[in-house]
Amino acid sequence: MKTLFDRVWTSHVVKQLTDDVALLYVDLHLIHEVTSPQAFAGLKREGRAVRRPERTLATVDHSIPTGDRSVPIADAVAAKQVDVLGRNAREFGIELFDLTSPGQGIVHVISPELGATQPGMVIVCGDSHTATHGAFGAFAIGIGTSEVEHVLATQCIALSKPRTLEARFTGSREPGVGAKDLILALIGRIGTAGATGHVIEYTGEAIRALSMEERMTVCNMSIEAGARAGMIAPDDVTFAYLQGRPRAPKGKAWTTSVEQWRKLPSAPKARYDTQVTLDASQIGPQVTWGTTPGMVADITARIPDPAALGTDAERQAAQRALQYMGLEPGTPLAGIPIDRVFLGSCTNARIEDLRAAAGVVRGRHVAPRVRAMVVPGSMRVKAQAEEEGLDQVFREAGFEWRNAGCSMCLGMNDDVLGAGERCAATSNRNFEGRQGRGGRTHLMSPMMAAAAAIEGHLVDVRGW
Amino acid sequence: MAFTQHRGRLVTLPRRDVDTDQIIPKQFLKGVDRTGFGPALFYDWRYRADGSPDPGFELNSPTAQGATILVTGPNFGCGSSREHAVWALAEYGFRAIIAPSFADIFTSNCYRNGVLPVRLAGADVDALIRSTEGGLHELVIDLKKQLITDDHGFKATFTADPYGRELLLRGLDEIGRTLLEEPSIAAYERRHA
């Protein structure tokens, strides 16, 4: 009675190293400029080669500017990092989607877009949001730079086998409730360490009803629940998304692959180590109020009173968070004024996200004193949006329309919040200082962020 | 760097969910080397906006100077996979971190950088946090015996991840070790060609 995860794990064991730890084969290794330079330096120091450059894909996304691409990168340190990746890619024969490439974008957006991410694969990347690729039924994990070096040299990774957690979403979503709300609600329920040491498999009719891009949003934030990875069983939605993409199998190989992929889903009676069930019909739009993604509530709720929390540690953490966020217990979430809006990131910057947000802002205008920006997840997403005229919708509404990158999700470029600025963000982390020192982040769905941009404060998009 | 036994002073940071963005903020991730991160450790907490040390931050306390063991709250190292967080902790001088729980990627990064993540029961961590209230406090961490002791009768056992423990005890080059499995890797590739 195997789970999806068990099947992918077992089929990739190169050698069992200890009772618990196996050497797993890596089908696809994604790299970017920030977590790879030290790995390549290590290879060179030891005189080692990249074992399978053709199983490695590189792009620049984290530290690059999202403004004008015709001028050189102004930040000399970031420019060097980008340059070093370019040189390493050339030296080791790795395909690179650089700043001039129409295929450039956030690593977790471009790999699915290319069809490089496929069901049943083991995928790694020096980035915690690698879990995104689990939406296809791949086992995809974030790793550190030492492990990046290890995978470059050996095409393998040594891992202790995680336990499994089934997150079942029953029922169906209300209009105005997005995939982001499902995952935020789960993190609110189980906590930011609720799935540590586990792979989450998302199941249930509310998951089956999601589009491929929505599934990516759900899996993307598995790490925010502490999970090693998140997975969703591949089905016809998955295959329809993949078919015809540049790196997807073609012709007879496609038919054979689909046959294999259909065998991946968990057996009906498969057992998970842990199980949690949420009723999707009871989940409203979610907004974070604190400094971890687990500090989240329905938009109709009020800021919780730390004094009412269970333990000293929880009370202290909530008090500290509210102090940082500049919020008072009991304040209704709807109505909290914002200064900035960030529509972007590997969580929510694919074409469907931009369509959903554009649908909210069409014919309206960003509130006075609010600065709002759209940063498409990839240059292909940007091109597609422009073909559909979405860029015009955003521009006319007063949004900035940027080039692709991680941008203000982590603020490594010049897209940062100022101290005390409050941001409605579609990204994945509301940690202290994440988007800029002293910046205050509220995580939410693209529709909710778009509505907040128009109103100038947090608002329930269902009332629109 | 191998880790077998370590005696050192502890400093406590009694907060939960300390994420890697706090340990090493984003603006310090643009380098291409593994060094230079120590001065930026906990940057936003450690320094005020004008760049001067914040005397209210635990690591800036006079008794914290020279500490090599960090005792902290649950889910330490959550968030980003950035190994720079461990490089910063190691360069600052930390050899071990004691907490009720750690994030997975952070744990794996520690084992590969000579830093021992020690999972202790919440009650033991609380006892250690209280123990520093009287001032300086030293611990001995023995990875072979998986035992922590002090000079005042504190004693706690822990279980390290066996694979990570071996990496630390032997100071192993993990890549060199995996390359010895070349026949298995090549056989796997032939089976899946």
Q: Report the complex ipTM.
A: 0.97
Considering the domain architecture, whether residues A358 and A451 belong to the same structural domain is answered as yes
**Which residues in chain B have Cβ-Cβ distances shorter than 8 Å to A45?**
none
Residue A326 forms part of a structural domain: yes
Could B21 and A14 be called an inter-chain contact, meaning their C-beta atoms sit closer than 8 Å?
Answer: no
Domain-terminating residue out of A248, A282, A316: A282
Considering the domain architecture, whether residues A137 and A119 belong to the same structural domain is answered as yes
Q: Does B16 touch chain A (CB under 8 A)?
A: yes
Cα B123 to Cα B13, B120, B126, B127, B130, distances in angstroms = 15, 8, 5, 6, 11
Output A414 or A110, whichever has higher pLDDT: A110
* Alpha-carbon gap, residue B143 to B141, rounded angstroms: 6
Considering the domain architecture, whether residues A240 and A179 belong to the same structural domain is answered as no
| Numbers of helices and strands, H then E, in chain B | 8, 7
Q: pLDDT tens digit string along B162-171?
A: 999 999 999 8
Coil/strand/helix, residue B155: strand
* Alpha-carbon gap, residue B144 to B174, rounded angstroms: 19
Asked whether residue A391 carries a pLDDT value surpassing 80, the answer given is: yes
Could A143 and B162 be called an inter-chain contact, meaning their C-beta atoms sit closer than 8 Å?
Answer: no
Q: Which of A125, A129, A146 to mutate to test the interface with B (most CBs of B within 10 A)?
A: A146
Instruction: Return the exposure string of A228-253: e unless at least 16 CB atoms fall within 10 Å of the residue's CB, then b.
Output: bbbbbbbbebbbebbeeeebbbeeee
CB proximity list for B112: less than 8 A, separation 6 or greater:
A144, A146, A147, B83, B86, B167, B174
Whether this model's pTM surpasses 0.90: yes
Residues A397, A367 contacting (CB under 8 angstroms): no
Dihedral sign (CA A43, A47, A51, A56): positive
Strands A340-343 and A422-425: parallel
Provide the shortest C-alpha distance from residue A384 to chain B (in Å): 30
Provide the shortest C-alpha distance from residue A424 to chain B (in Å): 19
Q: pLDDT tens digit string along B30-69?
A: 989 999 999 999 999 999 999 999 999 999 999 999 999 9
Considering the domain architecture, whether residues A388 and A448 belong to the same structural domain is answered as yes
Exposed / middle / buried, residue A308 (Cβ in 10 Å: 0-12, 13-18, 19+): exposed
Question: To which H or E segment does residue A242 belong?
Answer: helix A236-242
pLDDT at A427 (0 to 100):
98
CB proximity list for B116: less than 8 A, separation 6 or greater:
B3, B6, B95, B96, B97, B110, B141, B143, B160, B168
Residue A12 forms part of a structural domain: yes
Query: Looking at the partner chain, which of A41, A142, A192 has a beta carbon nearest the beta carbon of B17?
Result: A192
Arithmetic mean of pLDDT over chain A:
97
Considering the domain architecture, whether residues A191 and A134 belong to the same structural domain is answered as no
Please compute the mean of the pLDDT values over residues A351-380 and round it to a whole number: 98
A451 pLDDT tier (thresholds 50, 70, 90): very high
Coil/strand/helix, residue A324: helix
Residue A421 forms part of a structural domain: yes
CA-based nearest residue to A121, from A234, A266, A273, A240: A234
Considering the domain architecture, whether residues A75 and A152 belong to the same structural domain is answered as yes
pLDDT at B131 (0 to 100):
83
Coil/strand/helix, residue A154: helix
B140 pLDDT tier (thresholds 50, 70, 90): very high
CATH number for A224: 3.40.1060.10
Could B105 and A127 be called an inter-chain contact, meaning their C-beta atoms sit closer than 8 Å?
Answer: no
CA-based nearest residue to B178, from A37, A17, A44: A17
pLDDT at B91 (0 to 100):
98
Longest distance between any two alpha carbons in chain A, whole Å: 63
Q: Does B72 touch chain A (CB under 8 A)?
A: no
Please compute the mean of the pLDDT values over residues A152-170 and round it to a whole number: 98
Considering the domain architecture, whether residues A295 and A176 belong to the same structural domain is answered as no
pLDDT at A311 (0 to 100):
87
Q: pLDDT tens digit string along A297-329?
A: 999 999 999 999 988 888 999 999 999 999 999
Q: Does B108 touch chain A (CB under 8 A)?
A: yes
Could B178 and A63 be called an inter-chain contact, meaning their C-beta atoms sit closer than 8 Å?
Answer: no
* Alpha-carbon gap, residue A229 to A198, rounded angstroms: 7
pLDDT at B111 (0 to 100):
97
Q: Which two tokens stand for residue A104?
A: 């450039």
Residue A16 forms part of a structural domain: yes
pLDDT at A148 (0 to 100):
98
pLDDT at B132 (0 to 100):
79
Considering chain A, what percentage of its residues have pLDDT values greater than 90?
A: 97
Exposed / middle / buried, residue A95 (Cβ in 10 Å: 0-12, 13-18, 19+): middle
Domain span at A114: 4-159+236-256
* Alpha-carbon gap, residue A305 to A10, rounded angstroms: 47
Could A23 and B178 be called an inter-chain contact, meaning their C-beta atoms sit closer than 8 Å?
Answer: yes
CATH number for A131: 3.30.499.10
Domains by residue range for chain B, with CATH = 5-191 (3.20.19.10)
Coil/strand/helix, residue B47: strand
Q: Which of B12, B30, B83, B112 to mutate to test the interface with A (most CBs of A within 10 A)?
A: B30
Q: What's the gap between Cα A17 and its chain centre?
A: 31
Q: How many CA atoms lie within 13 A of A182 on its CB side?
A: 35
Provide the shortest C-alpha distance from residue A146 to chain B (in Å): 7
Coil/strand/helix, residue A127: coil
Asked whether residue A182 carries a pLDDT value surpassing 90, the answer given is: yes
Coil/strand/helix, residue A116: coil
Q: Which two tokens stand for residue A79?
A: 């420019």
Considering the domain architecture, whether residues A274 and A318 belong to the same structural domain is answered as no
Coil/strand/helix, residue A167: strand
Residue A191 forms part of a structural domain: yes
Identify the bridge partners of residue A198 per DSSP, sorted by sequence position: A163
Considering chain A, what percentage of its residues have pLDDT values greater than 70?
A: 100
Residue A408 forms part of a structural domain: yes
Provide the shortest C-alpha distance from residue A388 to chain B (in Å): 34
Could A144 and B81 be called an inter-chain contact, meaning their C-beta atoms sit closer than 8 Å?
Answer: yes
A188 pLDDT tier (thresholds 50, 70, 90): very high
Asked whether residue B134 carries a pLDDT value surpassing 80, the answer given is: no
Q: pLDDT tens digit string along B4-35?
A: 999 999 999 999 999 999 999 999 999 899 99
Residue A261 forms part of a structural domain: no
Identify the bridge partners of residue B156 per DSSP, sorted by sequence position: B148
Residue A304 forms part of a structural domain: yes
Considering chain B, what percentage of its residues have pLDDT values greater than 70?
A: 99
Query: Looking at the partner chain, which of A14, A294, A429 has a beta carbon nearest the beta carbon of B185?
Result: A14
Asked whether residue A82 carries a pLDDT value surpassing 90, the answer given is: yes
Q: pLDDT tens digit string along A327-347?
A: 999 999 999 999 999 999 999
Asked whether residue B136 carries a pLDDT value surpassing 80, the answer given is: no
Amino acid at residue number B57: F
Q: Does B109 touch chain A (CB under 8 A)?
A: yes
Question: To which H or E segment does residue A114 belong?
Answer: helix A107-114
Coil/strand/helix, residue A288: strand
Query: Helices A107-114 and A212-220 sit at what angle, rounded to 10 degrees?
Result: 150
pLDDT at B82 (0 to 100):
97
Exposed / middle / buried, residue B65 (Cβ in 10 Å: 0-12, 13-18, 19+): exposed
B2 pLDDT tier (thresholds 50, 70, 90): confident
Considering the domain architecture, whether residues A143 and A180 belong to the same structural domain is answered as no
pLDDT at B1 (0 to 100):
75
Considering the domain architecture, whether residues A200 and A113 belong to the same structural domain is answered as no
Longest distance between any two alpha carbons in chain B, whole Å: 64
Asked whether residue B135 carries a pLDDT value surpassing 80, the answer given is: no
Considering the domain architecture, whether residues A372 and A273 belong to the same structural domain is answered as no
Considering the domain architecture, whether residues A124 and A210 belong to the same structural domain is answered as no
Residues B164, B47 contacting (CB under 8 angstroms): no
pLDDT at A464 (0 to 100):
81
Q: Which two tokens stand for residue A462?
A: 């269902």
Please compute the mean of the pLDDT values over residues A94-98 and round it to a whole number: 98
pLDDT at B172 (0 to 100):
79
pLDDT at A150 (0 to 100):
98
Helical segments of B62-114, H only: 84-92, 104-111
Q: pLDDT tens digit string along A105-120?
A: 999 999 999 999 999 9
A335 CB neighbour count, 10 Å cutoff: 10
How many domains does chain A contain in total? 3
Q: Which two tokens stand for residue B184?
A: 């298995």
Please state whether B132 falls in left (phi above 0), alpha (psi between -120 and 50) or beta.
Answer: alpha
Could B175 and A150 be called an inter-chain contact, meaning their C-beta atoms sit closer than 8 Å?
Answer: yes
